[in-house]
Structure 1
Amino acid sequence: MSACRPLKRVTHVIFDMDGVLLDTEILYTKATQNILDKYEKTFTWEVKTQMMGLHGSEMAKRIVDVYELPLTPEEYYSQAMEQYKIIMPQCQLMPGAFKLVKHLHSNNIPIAVATSSSQESFDLKTQNHKDFFSLFSHIVCGGSDPDVKAGKPAPDIFLTCAKRFSDPPHPEKCLVFEDAPNGILAALAAGMQAVMIPDANVAPELRKNAHVVIDRLDNAPLELFGLPSIKGC
C-alpha cells in the first residue's frame, strides 16, 4: 500500500465495477481477442489501457479505429455483446471485495457503484451476484444512463452517482475505488479522493495520480479517510 498526498475524511464510498468488484478484465480481453482473431489482430495491453473506463460505444469506436477493422463501431459492439453473453456470466468477485463491501454496509457507510457498463451489460455480469449488489444504495450504469453525458476521464459518472445518494454529499466527501487510470482521472476531476487497485500491468507512472494504491480491496486503509478500519475484521 502506498499513499502520495494528504488525505481527508470522507462519508460516502463509490466503487467502479470491472476490475474492482468483479474480475471481468481477463474476460473482456478474451472476448475482444476472439473478435480480433477473425482479422489476424492482437489485442495488446497498451490498447487495453487506453480503453479502460470507456463507455461501450466509445470502446467500440476505439477498437475499430486502432485496428482498422472493416466494421462500423455498431457492428463491432454487436459482436462484442454476443461474446459477452457467452463469457461474462462466468465472472467472479475480486479478492477482498465481499469483505470490504460487507464491512462498509455493516457500518452504515453509504456505498454505491458507478460503472461505465450499460444496464444490459451490468445485468449480464451480475446475474450470479445479485445478493452482493443488493448491498449498494444504488448503481449508475454510465453506458446507458442519460445523465452521464461523457465517459471517463470526464467526471460525469461520479458526480451523477454522488447526487443519487439519499443524503447527497459534497464531492470531496466521496472516496472512489478504481482500477483504471482513466477512472482515477475521472474521480479527481469530480473533486473526489481515489484509491487505486491497479492490474499488475499498469505502469508506475499511470498510478501516480491516485491518493492511495493497494493490491486488493480488503487491504484498503479506510482509517486514513476517517472510516471504520477493516483491519482485524
Structure 2
Amino acid sequence: MVATAPQFPIRCRGILFDMDGTLIDTTVIVERYWEIWCKAHNINYSELIATSHGRTSRSIMEQWAPLDRRERYMTQEYLQELEKSVVEDTDGMIIIPGARELLEYLPSTKWAVVTSAGRSMAEGRFEQTGLKTPPILITSTEILRGKPDPLGYVTGAERLGLKPEDCVVFEDAPNGIRAGIAASAKAVIGMDTGTAPREQLVEAGANPIIKSFEDLDIKVLDDGWIEISQKTA
C-alpha cells in the first residue's frame, strides 16, 4: 500500500513520532546486542537484522528464538531483562538533528511517541538524551500487536483526541511506515537516517522522505493546525 503523495505545505492537527531512528538513533547499540545474541544461539545475524528494525523484541523472539527456549524468551520477565541490558548501553547513541528543538517547540497537546521499544527502554532513552519527555508514550509494553500493525498509531491518535487521518507520522523503518499507512495517517514522512536503505522506505510507501527535521519548517498556526513545509535552499 502506498501513501498518497502529499502536497506541501502539509497541514495536520497532531504528529506521531517513532522513537529509535526517528528522534534518537541507537541502531549501532541494538545491532551490537543482536549480533552477540545471534552468536550465542548459532543464528544467522545478517538474516535476523535485515527484518528486525521497527519490530518488537517479542516478535523477533517469536520468529528467531530456538524452539526449545522460545516460550521462556517470550516471557515479559525475559524481555524486560533483555531491554535492561540494551538500555544500559549508550555508546554510539545520537539525537537526530532538529529533534530536540522540535519537541521543545511543539505544545504537549500536539504530539505523541509510538515505539516498538518497551516502556522502560523508551523512558530510559529520553532520560539519557535529555529530550523532552513525551506527553503521550505508546510502547510495546501496552500494545502487544507491533508494527506493521496500525494499532499503536491508532492508539496514539486517540490519546491526542484525534483521528489518525488528522495526524502526520514520522518513521524510519519499513514496518513502521506500513503501520502509519495502515492507520490511515494523513502523511507518513520517511526518515532516511540509515536504519534501512532509502529504496525500502520508498517501497513501504513513505512520502516525502527527509534526512532530518532540519529539512522542514514546522509551525503551529493560530488556529491550532500544524503546518509542515519543506525548507528551500
Q: TM-score range by the shorter chain?
A: 0.7 to 0.9
Picking from 104, 107, 124, the partner of 2:106 is 104
How many angstroms apart in 1 are the aligned matches of 2:147 and 2:183? 11
* CA offset digits 1:200-231 (Å, max 9, x no partner): 442514424012101112213547x9616585
Q: Which runs of 5+ in 2 are unaligned?
A: 220-224
Q: Which residue of 2 aligns with 1:57?
A: 58
Q: In structure 1, what residue type is equivalent to 2:177?
A: I
For residues 26 and 90 of structure 1, the distance between their equivalents in structure 2, rounded to whole angstroms, comes to 6
The change in CA–CA distance for 1:82 and 1:69 in structure 2 (over 3 A counts) is: farther
**2:36 is paired with a residue of what secondary structure?**
helix
Aligned partner of 2:113 in structure 1 is 113
Paired residue total: 216
Q: Using the TM superposition, give the Cα deviation of residue 77 of structure 1 relative to its aligned residue in structure 2, in angstroms.
A: 3.9
- 1:184 shift after superposition: 0.6
> TM-score of the superposition, structure 2-length normalised?
0.78
Name the Cα RMSD after superposition.
3.0
Partner of 1:179: 172
Distance 1:11 1:85, change over 3 A: closer
Matches within 5 A, 1:109-188: 110-130=110-130, 132-134=131-133, 136-141=134-139, 143-145=140-142, 148-165=143-160, 168-188=161-181
1:94-141 residue CA offsets vs partner (Å, 9 max, x unmatched): 222113323334xx77111111111122233233235x233x321111
Correspondence for 2:216: 220
Inter-partner Cα distance in structure 2 for 1:126 and 1:73 = 31
Matching residue of 1:189: 182
Whether the aligned pair in 2 keeps the contact of 1:89 and 1:124 (CA below 8 Å) is: no
Q: Residues of 1 paired with 2:23 and 2:200: CA distance? A: 24
Structure with the higher helix share, 1 or 2: 1
Structure with greater strand percent: 2
Cα–Cα, structure 1 residues 110 and 5, in superposed 2: closer, same or farther, change >3 Å?
same
Match of 2:93? 91
Mapped to 2, the partners of 1:82 and 1:129 lie a distance apart of 16
* Equivalence for 1:210: 206
CA distance in 1, matches of 2:226, 2:110: 14
Distance in 2 (alpha carbons) for counterparts of 1:10 and 1:85: 33
Paired AA for residue 185 in structure 1: R
Amino acid across the alignment from 1:81: E
Q: Secondary structure at the match of 1:121?
A: helix
Equivalent pair of 2:100/2:132 in contact (CA under 8 Å): no
Q: Distance in 2 between matches of 1:94 and 1:73?
A: 36
Aligned residues with identical type, % of pairs: 24
1:114 touches 1:139 (CA, 8 Å); kept in 2?
Answer: yes
Secondary structure at 1:95 match in 2: coil
| Per-residue deviation, 1:33 | 0.9
Q: Out of 70, 79, 97, which is 1:72 matched to?
A: 70
- Structure 1 residue 69: deviation in Å? 7.4
- Deviation (angstroms), 1:170: 2.1
Structure 1 gap segments, 5+ residues each: none
Measure the CA separation in 1 of the matches of 2:67 and 2:132.
Answer: 36
Q: Structure 1 residue 79: deviation in Å?
A: 6.4
SS at match of 1:128: helix
Q: Distance in 1 between matches of 2:13 and 2:119?
A: 27
Q: Alpha-carbon deviation of 1:90? A: 6.5
Contact 2:189/2:209, CA 8 A, preserved across alignment: yes
Query: What CA distance in whole angstroms lies between the structure 2 residues aligned with 1:144 and 1:171?
Result: 21
